[in-house]
Each structure stands twice: as C-alpha cells, then as structure tokens.
C-alpha cells in the first residue's frame, strides 16, 4: 500500500480503538463499594437508623429514609448514641469508593446490624449524595445492583443519576420481608 493509504487506514483504526476504549472504560464508580454489597438482608422490617457525620451525608440519609419508607420497611432516624440497627455515617475516607454497606452483627443468615458509610471525599453534588445513600439503603434491604436507568441501584456516575427506587426495587424489598 502507499503511505497515504496506510496513514488514513491507521487513523481509522486508531479512531475505532479510541471509541472502543471510551465505550468500555467504566465511569467513575459512584456507589461502588469498598467492602462489598453482599452483606445480607437486615433481619427486621423496622429500621432504627443512627445518622451521623458530615451534614451533607446526614441530609442524604434522611432523604434515603424517606425513599425506603415508600416500601413496607418502616424506617426512622433515632438518637445516637442509643439503640439502632442501621448506622449511616458520612466522612472522608481515603478510598475511591462512594459508599459502602457491611453487616457488623449477624443473626443466622440475616444481618442484625448494618453499617453504611458515605464517602465525602468522592461524593460531590446533592444528587450524588442522595443516590449513594439511597443505593446503600437498598443494600441494607438486600438489593443487588441493576443496570436500568430507572433505579438508584445502578453503579457508576454516568447520567442520569437516579435517586429513587423503581417499582422493581420496591417489590424486591417487600419480597425480602
Ligand atoms: Zn452497590
């Protein structure tokens, strides 16, 4: 082939490779997890939530309590220190994840106490705070990840950033109790 042809062909291949890379590279991991999402289902439909830490995180946790309350879960914030079965704490963690949910006390195959962490180092906007908090509360209820734009249970920061549970999420939560 002549040089001109070779160059155009190379550019085309390079452009295709770049497009492929752009499509395959995951977006920043909004609501990805430092400690794993498979932390069981909280063992009661009555959630007493201790909300603390950064004020943006507290506001988002209260928003998430409202979202969970659209299901059969009866969630409310309680004073902490005190007695609770969910804690939601917002701080700056030295990691790249946005939120994490873990079980800190097991009762058989279900979890008796869950700890949610919201990472103020990586979360920026109110929408991100709300999505991350609601997403993590979904994990508290035993939800896994989704790939639909209608649900907050997606991973990644690509728009649209959804801050609510869709009908499928809600029925899944209700089925867990
Ligand atoms: Zn998740």
How many angstroms does the Cα of residue 73 sit away from the middle of ligand 1?
A: 19
pTM: 0.80
Identify the pLDDT of residue 75.
Answer: 98
Q: Which of 11-15, 45-49, 73-77, 118-122 has the lowest average pLDDT?
A: 11-15
How many angstroms does the Cα of residue 170 sit away from the middle of ligand 1?
A: 16
Q: Which of 3-17, 56-70, 136-150 has the lowest average pLDDT?
A: 3-17
At residue 115 the predicted structure's pLDDT band, cuts being 50, 70 and 90, is: very high
How many angstroms does the Cα of residue 31 sit away from the middle of ligand 1?
A: 5
How many angstroms does the Cα of residue 4 sit away from the middle of ligand 1?
A: 50
Identify the pLDDT of residue 81.
Answer: 83
How many angstroms does the Cα of residue 132 sit away from the middle of ligand 1?
A: 8
Identify the pLDDT of residue 110.
Answer: 83
How many angstroms does the Cα of residue 79 sit away from the middle of ligand 1?
A: 26
Per-residue model confidence as pLDDT tens digits over 20-35: 333 333 333 344 554 4
How many angstroms does the Cα of residue 154 sit away from the middle of ligand 1?
A: 7
How many angstroms does the Cα of residue 139 sit away from the middle of ligand 1?
A: 7
Identify the pLDDT of residue 60.
Answer: 98
Q: Could you tell me the CATH superfamily of domain 29-175?
A: Collagenase (Catalytic Domain) (3.40.390.10)
Q: Which of 6-20, 53-67, 76-90, 129-143 has the lowest average pLDDT?
A: 6-20
The ranges assigned to domains in the chain are: 29-175
Angle between helices 55-68 and 126-140 (to 10 degrees): 50
Identify the pLDDT of residue 90.
Answer: 98
How many angstroms does the Cα of residue 29 sit away from the middle of ligand 1?
A: 10
């Amino acid at each position: 082939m002549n040089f001109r042809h070779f160059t155009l062909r190379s550019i085309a291949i390079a452009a295709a490779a770049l497009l492929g890379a752009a499509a395959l590279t995951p977006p920043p991991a909004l609501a990805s997890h430092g400690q794993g999402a498979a932390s069981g289902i909280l063992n009661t439909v009555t959630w007493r939530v201790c909300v603390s830490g950064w004020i943006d995180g507290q506001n988002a946790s209260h928003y998430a309590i409202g979202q969970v309350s659209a299901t059969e879960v009866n969630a409310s914030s309680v004073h902490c220190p005190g007695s609770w079965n969910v804690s939601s704490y917002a701080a700056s963690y030295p990691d790249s994840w946005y939120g994490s949910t873990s079980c800190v006390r097991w009762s058989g195959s279900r979890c008796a106490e869950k700890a949610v962490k919201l990472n103020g180092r990586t979360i920026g906007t109110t929408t991100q705070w709300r999505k991350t908090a609601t997403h993590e509360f979904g994990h508290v209820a035993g939800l896994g990840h989704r790939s639909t734009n209608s649900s907050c249970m997606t991973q990644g920061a690509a728009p649209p950033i959804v801050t609510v549970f869709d009908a499928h999420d809600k029925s899944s939560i209700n089925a867990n109790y």
